[in-house]
Amino acid sequence: MHKVAIVILNWNGAKMLRRFLPSVLTGSKGEGVEIYVADNASTDESCEVVGKEFPTVHLIRLDQNYGFAEGYNKALECVEAEYVMLLNSDVEVSEDWLKPLTEYMDAHPEVVACQPKILSWREKNQFEYAGAAGGFIDKYGYPFCRGRIFEEVEEDHGQYDSVIPVFWATGAALMIRLDVYRKVGGLDGRFFAHMEEIDLCWRLHSRGYQIVCLPESIVYHVGGATLKKENPRKTFLNFRNNLLMLYKNLPQGELGSVMRIRKILDYMAACFFLLKGDRANFHAVLQARKEYTAIRSQFEADREKNLQKSVCKDVTGRYKFSILWQAKVRGKRTYAELIKR
């Protein structure tokens, strides 16, 4: 069994593989480290690129495009390792980036998942939107990070270089113990993409596990390589999956009140898009709520199972305030300002 399996999920990303896979190969050298590319039935030359240009990389050919969540579930059925690193195809890694992660995990068996510090590939002195220096959520399920609150992305001055427990680790570079990943059911394939790693991390927390960000390890993420920001499909998946995540994981005493407030906030978001003249995203939010209502019953068993297995009511990194109120009304622009409230 390998020590670490780096698994890169790919779909029609031949150019990304050529650009970023070399850094993964040179920066991830070490005993017991193996690199895999799991291909989601690409129609470009991705598989040929891996086979001809990167012969030491293991290629897992999936028979169809399963999306991000189920794609990783299918890929990890083909892998045996103590730790797996789920790594986006548009990530450039630094030298020996795995060492701080594996050493910390080895020394802290109570920690089952972690992430490095995520900086922007385009602006290497700035945090990257998807993950930054560790993720959290507010009372109503809105995610934010050390280094990023809504659209406010900070420059990295070492202000978040401490190792801290976080609520969620980004799926762009998520290291997790493979046995625990399988034990809790992995990513929810029905999400397809977006919010699936936060849902997984919530399940881990509720079962008593810990997740941390280790800023000593640094990677650089392009971000938005598959679906650009404010793409209606991305808006739909984010809103729908966020509601499903809340339904699956919220304690019974909070479910009704939180979902009532979320309904109001979602329709406010839809109106905001409409006022901007963005009818596509307006309809995406409405469609997300409609589909959530239509398929919610399919997740009842998951909710019951999660509540039964929960050993922790107040999970680390789920704040009781509204990040919308704190950021948009009170003007809290950074995580440091937010925690001084």
Domain ranges of the chain: 1-89, 232-316
Cβ atoms 78, 60 nearer than 8 A:
yes
Cβ atoms 200, 241 nearer than 8 A:
no
Least reliable range by pLDDT among 229-233, 284-288, 306-310: 229-233
Flag whether pLDDT at 112 surpasses 90: yes
C-beta neighbour count of 197 within 10 angstroms? 26
Confidence of residue 229 (pLDDT cuts 50, 70, 90): low
Cβ atoms 147, 133 nearer than 8 A:
yes
- N residues, the chain: 341
Strands 2-10 and 152-153: unpaired
Provide CATH code, domain 1-89.
3.90.550.10
Full-model pTM? 0.94
Close Cβ partners of 231 (under 8 Å, ≥ 6 residues apart): none
Flag whether pLDDT at 226 surpasses 50: no
CB contact burial 219-230 (16+ within 10 A = b; e otherwise): bbbbbebbeeee
Would you state the structure tokens that stand for residue 261, as one six-digit string? 């407030």
Strands (E), the chain: 2-10, 33-39, 58-61, 81-87, 91-93, 111-120, 135-137, 143-145, 148-149, 152-153, 164-165, 173-177, 210-221
Least reliable range by pLDDT among 57-61, 120-124, 229-233, 331-335: 229-233
pLDDT tens readout for residues 128-165: 998 999 999 999 999 999 999 998 999 999 999 999 99
Encoded amino acid at 223, one letter:
G
Would you state the structure tokens that stand for residue 236, as one six-digit string? 């739909």
Cβ atoms 79, 4 nearer than 8 A:
no
Q: CA separation (Å) from 151 to 130, 230, 303, 328?
A: 11, 12, 31, 11
Flag whether pLDDT at 225 surpasses 70: no
Would you state the structure tokens that stand for residue 294, as one six-digit string? 């239509």
Strand partners, 38: 9, 60
The secondary element (H helix, E strand) that includes residue 203 is helix 196-206
- Name the percent of the chain lying above pLDDT 70: 98
pLDDT tens readout for residues 263-281: 999 999 999 999 999 999 9
